[in-house]
Amino acid sequence: MSKILVLMGVAGSGKSTIGNLLSERLGWEFIEGDDFHPAENVEKMSAGLPLNDQDRLPWLKQLNAHLRETQASGNPVIISCSALKRDYREALQSGIDDLIFIYLQGDFQTIIRRLQKRKKHFMKPEMLRSQFEILEPPGVEEALIVSIEQSIEKNLERIVRAAKFEN
């Protein structure tokens, strides 16, 4: 079985940035979880409306199916997925071995500043509050927790070392 690394956290926490850099460093495939959202979800978020559990469930099931196929092929993979609630993480991990959650933790003010600088993304800064409201932060028993206040390089080193991806 191959490893699966899930970069999780609210929008703007750096999941895609860290994912792409880890992919380059490790030579693993990086999957942008947002690419699996159905058109209805993207339209809803583009209109400034937060997703609810009913919107997210088909998306999480599709991600889980893709991760199962990827793991069965023997290829390690990195994926970005907000995975804000414990139930979401359980749905994502269902039937998958060797999956590690990395929680990119940051405060509202830091992340809202990041979102306000982003262009051409369907996730509107005004929706960040709703993500923080439903966030059920994982504990250390469930995820490796890294602070986005640290440098990207320091976080990359910590993730690689803690997840034992390199010697």
Q: Tell the residue number behind the tokens 């890294």, with chain if given.
A: 146
If you average pLDDT over every residue of the chain, what do you get? 89
Q: Dihedral of the CA atoms 144, 150, 151, 156 (nearest 10)?
A: -10
Query: What is the SS3 assignment for 91-122?
Result: HHHCCCCCEEEEEEECCHHHHHHHHHHCCCCC
User: Is 167 inside any structural domain?
Assistant: no
Choose the most confident range, by mean pLDDT, from 66-75, 100-109, 121-130, 158-167.
100-109
Residue 47 falls inside a structural domain: yes
Q: What is the pLDDT of residues 34-61, one digit of tens each?
A: 899 999 998 888 888 888 999 999 999 9
Of 105, 108, 111, 164, nearest in space to 137 by CA: 105
- Let me know if residue 138 belongs to a domain: yes
- At 122, give phi and psi (nearest 5°): -70, -20
Q: How sure is the predictor about 167, in pLDDT bands with cuts at 50, 70 and 90?
A: very low
Residue 117's domain is classified under what CATH number?
A: 3.40.50.300
28 within a domain of the structure (yes/no) = yes
* Domains in the chain, number: 1
Which residue segment(s) compose the domain that 139 sits in?
A: 4-162
CB count in 10 Å sphere of residue 142: 15
Tell me the CB-side half-sphere exposure of residue 98, using CA atoms within 13 A.
16
Residue 51 in domain: yes
pLDDT at 157: 93
Q: For position 113, what pLDDT does the model report? A: 87
55-80: average pLDDT: 93
